[in-house]
C-alpha cells in the first residue's frame, strides 16, 4: 500500500473510448464559431452544424474557452509528520511520493508513518490532553472559530491544492469541499461552550485521545468532520490522511499553528494502511473514528472489539436514487447526475443504483444520455470541468474492471460523452448501465466511480424492496410530487440519510451516517457530538 502513489509514471489508461470534436476543459462560452470536426477555432472551413439525435439542438457550433485556475500553490519537495506542533521526518526515514492524478506527475515526498511515529503522536496527544480539556470551553470555541476563519482566508489555496492532489474539479473543491470544511469548524466552535445544553442534566467529559483515519475522496472535508467535533469536546487527536491525498491535511496543520492551537492537540501522521492499523491498535488511543471501505472497517471493528475503545465507522454504500412517475423529470435527471457523477462518483453516498418507475424509464434514460453527453471531462483545474481525474491508477483499474464485469454479465453500457479523454492522467468516461438485474455485480458492489446502474420498478412497494435489498444503508434519494409518498418512503428506506427531490446536500448541522454495512455512529449535528464525550 505504501507505494501506491509512487507507481505512477506510465500512463495506464487505454486509448480514449470516445471521439468528438470538442476540446475538454472549457470555460465561458466565447461566442466564437468552432469547427467541431477538427477542433480549430476560427478555421477557414465552415463550422459543421448537425442536429443532436435526441434533442434536435445544434451541436458543434458553440464551444468553451479554456478557463484554467491561475493561482499557483507552493508545494514543498518533502513533508514530515506533524507531531507536537512541529513537522518532523519519519522515525525510520521512510517516504512515499504523492502524485497529481490528472498529470501523473509527482508532487511531494511524504513521511511514511511507522509504529514508532504513531507512538510519538499518541504520546504528544496524551501530553496535550489535560491542558486542552481543562481550557475554558469558550477559549476552545474561539480557537475553532479562528481556524474556520483562516480556512476561509486560505480557501483558494486549499481548493487548488485539493484539486491538484486528488483530481477533483476545482469548482467542487472551491464551492463544496473547502466551504464545508470551514463550516464544520464554525458549527463546532459554537457548541464548544454549550455542551451541557446538548446533554441536559449530564456532565459531558472528553473521551481522551482520538485516532482518526480518513479516506481520499474528500480529504480536507473529512479531516474537518473528524477534528472539529473532537476538539470542541476537549479531546486531542491523531489523524491519518489517505496515502494519495495528504497535502491539505498538512496545510491544515500550518493553519493550526497560525491560529495558536497548542502543540500536541492535533497530530498528523502520514502513511499507508499499516500506519492506520498502528493507530487502531495503539493502547493509548481512546476512540477510533474511521471513514473508508467496509472491508477495512470490518477489520478495524474486529481489532477494537476486545478493547474499551469507542468506535464510529462511516463505510461504503450503494445508495438508491428512486424516481417516481409523478416527479419533475428534468429536475430528477439533474439529481441523478449530481448523485452519481459528483466527485467522479468517489462518494460513499453516491446514488449509484437508479430505480425508475417503469412508465418513465425510456424518457429518463433518454434525457440522462443527453445530459451525460454535456458533461465536460478533463483537466480538474479548469473551472468548467464537470468530471475530473480518478484519484489513482488503482481506482481507475478497479472501475474499468467493473465496466467489463457489467458488460460480461449482460448489462448494456452507455458512455455518451463526446469529450476526448486527456492522454495522460487517470480518466474515466462517466457512464450508466441499462438492462441491469439486481443480482448483477454492478448493482451490488460499491464501484466508487462515475458508473450508474439503472433499474426499474412498478409500485412503491417494489421500489422499497429493491432499494433495501443491499448490504449497505448509507443514503437514498426519492423523487416524487406527492408529499405522503415522500414521508412513507423516507420512513421505510433503510438508509441513514434520505434526500427528497434533491441529492448530495450536506450541512454541518445535519448528522450523517449509515445502517447495516455502511457503519454506525453519526458525524455532524448534535448526534455527532455524542461519540466524542463521556457522560
Which residue pairs, CB below 8 angstroms and at least 24 apart, start in 15-19? Answer: 16/420, 16/421, 16/423, 17/415, 17/421, 17/429, 18/415, 18/417, 18/418, 18/419, 18/420, 18/421, 18/429, 19/418, 19/420
Among 29-37, 238-246, 250-258, 460-468, the segment contacting ligand NDP (CB under 6 A): 238-246
C-alpha–C-alpha distance, residues 186 and 142, integer Å? 10
Q: How far is the CB of 73 from ligand NDP (least distance, A)?
A: 22
Residue that the C-alpha cell 480539556 belongs to: 133
Q: Which of 292, 406, 460, 525 binds ligand NDP (CB under 6 A)?
A: 292
Could you say whether residue 262 binds ligand NDP (CB under 6 A)? no
Q: Report 407-446 residues binding ligand NDP (CB under 6 A).
A: 446
Residue 438 contacts residue 394 (beta carbons within 8 Å): no
Q: Which of 59, 104, 172, 314 is catalytic?
A: 314
Could you say whether residue 277 binds ligand NDP (CB under 6 A)? yes
Q: How far is the CB of 279 from ligand NDP (least distance, A)?
A: 7
Judged by CB under 6 A, the number of residues near ligand NDP is 27
Q: Which residues contact 252 (CB under 8 A, 6 or more apart)?
A: 151, 220, 223, 227, 268
Could you say whether residue 280 binds ligand NDP (CB under 6 A)? yes
Could you say whether residue 213 binds ligand NDP (CB under 6 A)? yes
Q: Which of 12, 126, 293, 307 binds ligand NDP (CB under 6 A)?
A: 293
Strand order in the sheet with 62-64: 40-41, 29-35, 62-64
Residue that the C-alpha cell 514543498 belongs to: 76
Cα 490 to Cα 97, 181, 452, 466, 509, distances in angstroms: 44, 28, 22, 14, 19
Q: How far is the CB of 341 from ligand NDP (least distance, A)?
A: 16
Please identify, using beta-carbon distances, which residue of 327 and 349 lies nearer to ligand NDP. 349
Q: Quick check: helix, strand or coil at residue 168?
A: coil
Beta bridge partners of 237: 210, 266
Among 65-73, 97-105, 237-245, 503-511, the segment contacting ligand NDP (CB under 6 A): 237-245
Could you say whether residue 41 binds ligand NDP (CB under 6 A)? no
Q: Which of 170, 266, 315, 454 binds ligand NDP (CB under 6 A)?
A: 315
Please identify, using beta-carbon distances, which residue of 191 and 225 lies nearer to ligand NDP. 225
Please identify, using beta-carbon distances, which residue of 399 and 498 lies nearer to ligand NDP. 399
Set of cell numbers at residue 119 = 507512538
Residue that the C-alpha cell 469529450 belongs to: 419
Q: Quick check: helix, strand or coil at residue 323?
A: strand
Please identify, using beta-carbon distances, which residue of 1 and 41 lies nearer to ligand NDP. 1
Binding mask 337-356 for ligand NDP (x = CB under 6 A): -----------x--------
Please identify, using beta-carbon distances, which residue of 344 and 456 lies nearer to ligand NDP. 344
Please identify, using beta-carbon distances, which residue of 118 and 327 lies nearer to ligand NDP. 118
SS3 readout for 207-276: CCEEEEECCCCCHHHHHHHHHHHHHHCCCEEEEECCCCCCHHHHHHHHHHHHHCCCCCCEEECCCCHHHH
C-alpha–C-alpha distance, residues 211 and 238, integer Å? 5
Q: How far is the CB of 296 from ligand NDP (least distance, A)?
A: 4
Q: How far is the CB of 512 from ligand NDP (least distance, A)?
A: 11
Could you say whether residue 296 binds ligand NDP (CB under 6 A)? yes
Q: Which residues contact 534 (CB under 8 A, 6 or more apart)?
A: 204, 205, 206, 207
Q: Which of 103, 124, 133, 291 binds ligand NDP (CB under 6 A)?
A: 291
Q: How far is the CB of 216 from ligand NDP (least distance, A)?
A: 6
Among 190-198, 235-243, 327-335, 523-531, the segment contacting ligand NDP (CB under 6 A): 235-243
Where helices occur in 95-136 by DSSP H, the ranges are 115-134
Could you say whether residue 316 binds ligand NDP (CB under 6 A)? yes
What radius of gyration do the chain's Cα atoms show?
23
Q: Give DSSP secondary structure letters for 30-64.
A: EEEEEETTTTEET-SSPPP-EE-TTT--EESSEEE
Residue 114 contacts residue 92 (beta carbons within 8 Å): yes
Could you say whether residue 243 binds ligand NDP (CB under 6 A)? yes
Using CA of residue 171, residue 366, residue 396, residue 320, what is the dihedral sign?
positive
Q: Which of 113, 167, 215, 406 binds ligand NDP (CB under 6 A)?
A: 215
For this structure, is 348 an active site residue? yes
Q: Which of 348, 414, 428, 431 is catalytic?
A: 348
Q: Which of 272, 364, 443, 455 binds ligand NDP (CB under 6 A)?
A: 272
Please identify, using beta-carbon distances, which residue of 178 and 315 lies nearer to ligand NDP. 315
Please identify, using beta-carbon distances, which residue of 216 and 355 lies nearer to ligand NDP. 216
Set of cell numbers at residue 156 = 483558494
Closest CA to 235 of 142, 307, 140: 140
Could you say whether residue 237 binds ligand NDP (CB under 6 A)? no
For this structure, is 314 an active site residue? yes
Among 15-23, 201-209, 213-221, 354-362, the segment contacting ligand NDP (CB under 6 A): 213-221
Could you say whether residue 216 binds ligand NDP (CB under 6 A)? yes
β-pairing verdict for 105-111 and 78-79: parallel
Could you say whether residue 471 binds ligand NDP (CB under 6 A)? no
Binding site for ligand NDP (CB under 6 A): 1, 213-217, 240, 242-243, 272-273, 276-277, 280, 291-293, 296, 299-300, 315-316, 348, 395, 398, 446, 448
Catalytic residues: 314, 348
Amino acid at each position: 500500500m505504501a507505494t501506491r502513489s509512487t507507481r505512477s509514471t506510465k500512463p495506464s489508461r487505454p486509448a480514449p473510448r470516445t471521439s468528438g470534436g470538442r476540446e475538454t476543459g472549457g470555460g465561458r462560452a466565447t461566442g466564437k464559431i468552432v469547427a467541431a470536426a477538427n477542433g480549430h477555432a476560427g478555421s477557414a472551413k465552415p463550422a459543421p452544424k448537425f442536429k443532436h439525435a435526441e434533442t434536435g439542438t445544434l451541436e458543434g457550433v458553440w464551444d468553451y474557452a479554456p478557463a484554467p485556475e491561475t493561482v499557483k500553490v507552493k508545494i514543498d519537495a518533502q513533508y514530515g509528520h506533524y507531531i507536537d506542533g512541529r513537522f518532523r521526518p519519519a522515525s525510520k526515514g521512510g517516504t512515499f511520493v504523492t502524485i497529481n492524478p490528472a498529470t501523473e506527475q509527482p508532487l511531494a515526498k511524504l513521511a511514511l508513518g511507522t509504529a514508532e511515529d504513531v507512538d510519538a503522536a499518541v504520546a504528544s496527544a496524551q501530553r496535550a490532553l489535560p491542558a486542552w480539556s481543562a481550557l475554558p470551553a469558550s477559549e476552545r470555541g474561539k480557537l475553532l472559530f479562528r481556524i474556520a476563519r483562516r480556512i476561509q482566508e486560505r480557501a483558494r489555496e486549499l481548493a487548488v491544492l485539493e484539486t491538484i492532489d486528488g483530481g477533483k474539479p476545482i469548482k467542487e473543491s472551491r464551492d463544496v469541499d473547502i466551504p464545508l470544511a470551514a463550516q464544520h469548524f464554525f458549527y463546532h466552535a459554537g457548541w464548544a461552550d454549550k455542551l451541557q445544553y446538548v446533554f441536559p442534566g449530564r456532565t459531558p467529559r472528553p473521551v481522551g485521545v482520538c485516532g482518526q483515519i480518513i479516506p481520499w475522496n474528500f480529504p480536507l472535508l473529512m479531516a474537518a468532520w473528524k477534528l472539529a467535533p473532537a476538539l470542541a469536546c476537549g479531546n486531542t487527536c491523531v489523524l491519518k490522511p489517505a496515502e494519495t491525498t495528504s497535502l491539505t491535511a498538512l496545510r491544515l496543520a500550518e493553519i493550526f499553528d497560525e491560529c495558536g492551537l497548542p502543540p500536541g492537540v492535533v497530530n498528523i501522521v502520514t502513511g499507508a494502511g499499516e500506519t492506520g492499523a498502528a493507530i487502531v491498535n495503539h493502547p493509548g488511543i481512546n476512540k477510533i473514528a474511521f471513514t473508508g471501505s467496509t472491508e477495512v472497517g470490518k477489520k478495524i471493528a474486529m481489532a477494537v472489539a476486545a478493547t474499551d475503545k469507542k468506535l464510529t465507522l462511516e463505510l461504503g454504500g450503494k445508495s438508491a436514487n428512486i424516481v417516481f412517475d409523478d416527479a419533475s423529470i428534468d429536475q430528477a435527471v439533474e439529481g441523478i447526475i449530481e448523485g452519481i457523477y459528483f466527485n467522479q462518483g468517489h462518494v460513499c453516498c453516491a446514488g449509484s443504483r437508479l430505480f425508475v418507475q417503469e412508465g418513465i424509464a425510456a424518457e429518463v434514460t433518454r434525457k440522462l444520455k443527453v445530459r451525460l453527453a454535456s458533461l465536460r471531462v478533463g483537466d480538474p483545474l479548469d473551472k468548467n470541468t464537470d468530471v475530473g481525474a480518478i484519484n489513482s491508477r488503482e481506482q481507475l483499474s478497479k472501475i474499468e474492471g467493473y465496466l467489463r464485469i457489467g458488460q460480461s454479465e449482460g448489462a448494456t453500457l452507455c458512455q455518451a460523452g463526446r469529450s476526448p479523454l486527456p492522454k495522460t492522467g487517470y480518466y474515466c468516461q462517466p457512464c450508466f448501465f441499462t438492462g441491469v438485474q439486481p443480482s448483477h455485480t454492478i448493482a451490488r458492489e460499491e464501484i466508487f466511480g462515475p458508473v450508474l446502474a439503472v433499474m426499474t420498478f412498478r409500485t412503491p412497494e417494489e421500489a422499497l424492496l429493491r432499494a433495501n435489498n443491499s448490504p449497505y444503508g448509507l443514503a437514498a434519494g426519492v423523487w416524487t410530487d406527492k408529499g405522503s409518498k415522500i414521508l412513507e418512503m423516507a420512513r421505510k428506506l433503510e438508509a441513514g440519510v434520505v434526500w427528497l427531490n434533491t441529492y448530495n446536500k450536506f450541512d454541518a448541522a445535519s448528522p450523517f451516517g449509515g445502517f447495516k454495512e455502511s457503519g454506525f455512529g453519526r458525524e455532524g449535528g448534535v448526534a455527532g457530538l455524542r461519540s466524542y464525550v463521556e457522560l
